[in-house]
Chain A
Amino acid sequence: EIVLTQSPGTLSLSPGERATLSCRASQSVRRSYLAWYQQKPGQSPRLLIYGVSSRATGIPDRFSGSGSGTDFTLTISRLEPEDFAVYYCQQYSAAPDTFGQGTKVEIK
């Protein structure tokens, strides 16, 4: 099983700042099958990034994904008020698919 470890657990930032979220895998994620999700309270997760760096339909270009192998990053270039939420990474390259434990981006 591929274990995903996200850091930091909580990120306290102000609107307009840059957010950098990390996702580290216990073994290499093949075929670049890594995704990022945003979740707000009471809502379903929203797909932001798939295939490490492809933005899902309708996702603003301030969200970007990068990385390879075992180290992946989600960057939000300038935080908007609606971006404060919990973010999860997921690998779907090898069963069982697994999620990271989440990073909460909160308003400083």
Chain B
Amino acid sequence: EVQLVESGGGLVQPGGSLRLSCVGSGFTFSKYWMDWVRQAPGKGLEWVANIKEDGSEKNYVDSVKGRFTISRDNAKNSLYLQMNSLRAEDTAVYYCVRESTSSEGGSWGQGTRVTVSS
């Protein structure tokens, strides 16, 4: 069974930093693109970033470029999101996502909540 378990969320002041982690199991982690997707309270889904299987390609939504960094450690089946210079508008539940492929559907974790507030 595919499982994705996020951790690292919490309350942080504006301008602060937080590092989210996600551990995958039940699949070969190194063979999939991995994403972070967020959902602000009462809002829709927003894709944040993704990273290629070997970490050689990374993409970000414009609103987090220069502030967030996605990375992975395939030896540890782990995905990370380093979030710096946090703003109130970054408040959301952050989901770790294994992307769908042409032949297989993706999977989502349960999410970790990030609150940016003074």
Contact residues in A for B105 (Cβ distance below 8 Å): 35, 47, 50, 54, 56-57
Tell me the bound Cα distance from A45 to B37 in angstroms. 11
Residues of A within 8 A of B (CB): 31-33, 35, 37, 39, 44-47, 50-51, 54, 56-57, 88, 90, 92, 95-102
Tell me the bound Cα distance from A57 to B59 in angstroms. 28
Please tell me the number of chain B residues within 8 Å of chain A, measured between CB atoms: 24
Residues of B within 8 A of A (CB): 35, 37, 44-47, 50, 59-62, 95, 99-100, 102-111
Contact residues in A for B111 (Cβ distance below 8 Å): 44
The answer on a CB contact under 8 Å between B95 and A44 is yes
Contact residues in B for A47 (Cβ distance below 8 Å): 100, 105-108
Tell me the bound Cα distance from A92 to B12 in angstroms. 31
Given A44-B111, A47-B100, are A98 and B47 also a contact pair (CB < 8 Å)? yes
Contact of B44 among A31, A33, A96, A99 (CB under 8 A): A99
Given A95-B50, A97-B50, are A88 and B106 also a contact pair (CB < 8 Å)? no
Contact residues in A for B46 (Cβ distance below 8 Å): 99
The answer on a CB contact under 8 Å between A97 and B47 is yes
The answer on a CB contact under 8 Å between B108 and A96 is no
The answer on a CB contact under 8 Å between B44 and A101 is yes
**Minimal beta-carbon separation of A54 from chain B (angstroms):** 7
In the assembled complex, 30 residue pairs joining A and B whose CB atoms fall closer than 8 Å, in A order, are A32-B102, A35-B105, A35-B106, A37-B45, A44-B108, A44-B110, A44-B111, A45-B45, A46-B108, A47-B100, A47-B105, A47-B106, A47-B107, A47-B108, A50-B104, A50-B106, A51-B102, A57-B105, A88-B44, A88-B45, A90-B47, A92-B99, A95-B50, A95-B59, A96-B59, A97-B35, A97-B59, A99-B37, A99-B44, A102-B44
> Which of B37, B44, B105 has the largest number of chain A CB atoms within 10 A?
B105
